Structure 1
Amino acid sequence: MIIKPRVKNFICTTAHPDGCRQNVYEQIQYVKSQPQTKTKKRTLVIGCSTGYGLSSRICAAWGDDAPTIGVCFERPASGNRTATAGWYNTAAFEEFAKEDGIYAKTICGDAYSKEIKDETAKLISQDLGQIDLLVYSLAAPRRQMPDGTVYTSVLKTVDETFTSKSLDLGKNILTEKTVEPATPEEVEATVRVMGGEDWKDWVKALKEKGLLSENFRTVAYSYIGPEMTYPIYNDGTIGQAKKDLYNTAVEMEKEGVSAYVSVNKAVVTQSSSAIPVVPLYMSILYKVMKEKGLHEDTIQQMSRLWNGGLIEGEPKTDIPGRIRLDDWEMRPDVQGEVQEYWDKLTDENLKEYADIDGYWEEFYHLFGFSFDHVDYEADTEAEREIPSISK
């Protein structure tokens, strides 16, 4: 079939297998061009198929020459429907890993479930013996508990209504968004889905089976952002979950587990596109950081993390267990210009002060579109196998 992007409600409902392969290829080439650690830390990545999770797995495999096991929840192609981008990314990852003689296997299923934890533990025991690093990069909208209870996360404020300018991604014009406060039940649900409970469950489940090495460490990813997004992010329901994530790292550290939370830079993801205010902020941020030569995408961020003490030595932290990869984003000169541009924005000067084209390019890249060297007019086989899943 000839695959074109179809965007609906901030989500692209199609993905291009060759474009996703190109995305993975380019990230691998970047990591190969950077310093290598080569400690072969046996790595498990929870949420391995897109965004920071995918880039983490690439850094482990090609930056550290590490065997990796990935866990993701993706859908293969079916009939006239393409597979998800994460499925194609993972298929490409395993293809390139095999070519370079790097161990890579993937488990597809609900990472919150005991069944997937048990299946992963069995694979670790059989193939790797133990793991040295667990990366927790799960981004899911809901979580089903063992008793059948389902928690669904929400993008809301806490306590007060919040109104701010935003970006209408469908029309590329400024608009105003109002976000209502969450109920206590919605806050709790968001924390249960996006907080640290499942991260700790993974570590506990593997530790009880003796699958963590003596020098084991784990990292999860977070975001803080600038004050202009605090009501909807840092102080909102997501922020409450991220604070729980950090508190979980502190708890695990007290229990003898080396645990970190890495606060990363704002990047375009499927979930961030749905958060009011955030796409507009990121479009301005991209403009400013590119002008200053400071812009990083996910693979550049993760490469900096891998080479900044996560694998060898100790990473630099601002408070115990918290790494700040958003340090360039939060520089006073960067945030000062972002605020200046924010205040000047109108529909007429939107492209002067915001990198709308850059935002959309990264959005389409998530789904395998807008890459050079890919013929999007050619017939393409939508069905692609992930070898370790298809066996």
Structure 2
Amino acid sequence: MIIQPKTRGFICTTAHPEGCAAQVQRQIEYVKAQQPVAGIKNALVIGASTGYGLASRIVSAFGAGANTIGVYFDRPSEGGRTATAGWYNSAAFEQAAQDAGLKSFSIVGDAFSDEIKAKTLDLIRTELGQVDLVVYSVASPRRTHPKTGETFTSVLKPIGETFSNKTVNFHNGEVTSVTIEPATEDEISQTVAVMGGEDWQMWIDALQEAGLLAPQAVTVAYNYIGPEVTHAVYREGTIGRAKLDLEKTGKSLNNQLGATGGRAYVSVNKALVTQASAAIPVVPLYISLLYKVMKEKNIHEGCIEQMYRLFSERLYAPQGTSTDESGLIRIDDWEMREDVQEEVSKLWSIVSTENLAEISDIASYRREFFQLFGFESEGIDYEADTNPEVSIPNLR
């Protein structure tokens, strides 16, 4: 079939297998061109098929030579529909890892469930013995609690007051104003239940109780703080409340793992084009302006560059891991530089539909959005007949 992008809001409902594979290979080649990362033998990446989770798995495998297990919730091609981008990404990763002589396995299912946790533990026990790195990178709109059976749904809303600010439709470049009503207490608590730290804690508890965590294991989860312009819908909104819970969990896990020499961290990462960030009002416009400024200063990074720097210069740095006063790893340090934020703020104050193309990098935002789904990748013939049915070599 001829596979073309079909969008619905901030989601692309189709994905291109060859384009996804090309994007994965580009990330692999970047990592292989860098200095090796020391310290990882067996990695478990929960939420491994896209964005920071996929990049973490690539750095672990091709930067450190680690065996990996990826857990993710994606679907294969069926009934004339393409598979999800995460399925194609993972198929490409698994094939590359196999070709490189690395052990790699995929488990597809609901990471929140006891069933998938048990299946993962059995696989670790059988194939790896123990894991010394656990990356928690789950982004989901809903969660069914494995003990109570209750289903929670997250929302992207401010807390306390109605929020209004600029946003952009990145498909047509129209800058408009968005107004979002504040969340209810129930919506806040549900968002925390989905995106907070409880499931991360459950994973580490299960691994530790089963004796599958190496004595000096490292675990890391990902967060975003961002500038003041995004705070109402992120840091001070429902997502931010959930991330505060994640940070609290990180401190608790650090104490828990410290007894055997282990460590737990929350890494605050840079704003990037991801399926999750595309859904947040205000953020796509901010990212478009940020890209413009950071590229001009030659300090722009994508997911793979961020994760390589996180692993090589922070998590496994020879001099030890540096954190801020709250115990957070700040790999968003270049984004939050004063000179960067000053310029972004100036552009934010004047950006409009008329000048968007001139003063922002909306073109890169749009291109990277489609690249998430395997489109607009260099060297791919998108008019060619393509088989959407792709198998994952080590699917368990």
Instruction: Read off the aligned partner of 1:328 and give its amino acid letter.
Output: W
Residue 41 of structure 1: aligned partner:
41
With normalisation by structure 1, the TM-score equals 0.98
Give the distance between the partners of 2:225 and 2:394, measured in 1 at CA: 36
Give the distance between the partners of 1:155 and 1:302, measured in 2 at CA: 26
With normalisation by structure 2, the TM-score equals 0.97
Give the distance between the partners of 2:256 and 2:365, measured in 1 at CA: 41
| SS in structure 2 of the partner of residue 261 of structure 1 | strand
Contact 2:157 2:181 in 1 (8 A): yes
Which of 296, 303, 320 does residue 298 from structure 1 map onto?
303
- Cα distance per residue 1:138-181 (max 9 Å; x no partner): 00110001222000000000010000011123421110000111
Residue 52 of structure 1: aligned partner:
52
Which of 268, 275, 286 does residue 270 from structure 1 map onto?
275
Instruction: Read off the aligned partner of 1:153 and give its amino acid letter.
Output: S
| SS in structure 2 of the partner of residue 348 of structure 1 | coil
- Cα distance per residue 1:170-193 (max 9 Å; x no partner): 421110000111011110110111
Residue 221 of structure 1: aligned partner:
222
Contact 1:52 1:299 in 2 (8 A): yes
Change (3 A) 1:275 1:320: closer
Instruction: Read off the aligned partner of 2:63 and give its amino acid letter.
Output: G
Q: Shift of residue 85 of structure 1?
A: 0.1
Q: Shift of residue 339 of structure 1?
A: 0.5
| SS in structure 2 of the partner of residue 388 of structure 1 | coil
Residue 256 of structure 1: aligned partner:
257
Give the distance between the partners of 1:105 and 1:256, measured in 2 at CA: 25
Give the distance between the partners of 1:255 and 1:341, measured in 2 at CA: 45
Change (3 A) 1:225 1:320: closer
Is 2:161 aligned against 1:160? yes
- Cα distance per residue 1:298-350 (max 9 Å; x no partner): 00000001101313542211135310010000000000000011112122211
Residue 4 of structure 1: aligned partner:
4
- Cα distance per residue 1:61-97 (max 9 Å; x no partner): 0000000001000000012100000000000000001
Is 2:291 aligned against 1:286? yes
1:1-391 correspondence runs (5 A): 1-146=1-146, 147-257=148-258, 258-313=263-318, 314-389=320-395
Number of aligned residues: 390
With 139-148 and 76-85 compared, the bigger mean Cα shift is at 139-148
Contact 2:94 2:392 in 1 (8 A): yes
RMSD (Å), alpha carbons: 1.1
With 255-264 and 19-28 compared, the bigger mean Cα shift is at 255-264
Change (3 A) 1:312 1:122: farther
- Cα distance per residue 1:347-380 (max 9 Å; x no partner): 2211111111010111011000101111111100
Give the distance between the partners of 2:323 and 2:38, measured in 1 at CA: 23
- Cα distance per residue 1:37-56 (max 9 Å; x no partner): 24442100000000000000
User: Identity of counterpart residues, as a percentage?
Assistant: 55
Structure 1 segments unaligned to the other structure (5+ residues): none
Instruction: Read off the aligned partner of 2:366 and give its amino acid letter.
Output: W
Contact 2:273 2:368 in 1 (8 A): yes
Structure 2 segments unaligned to the other structure (5+ residues): none
Contact 1:39 1:65 in 2 (8 A): no
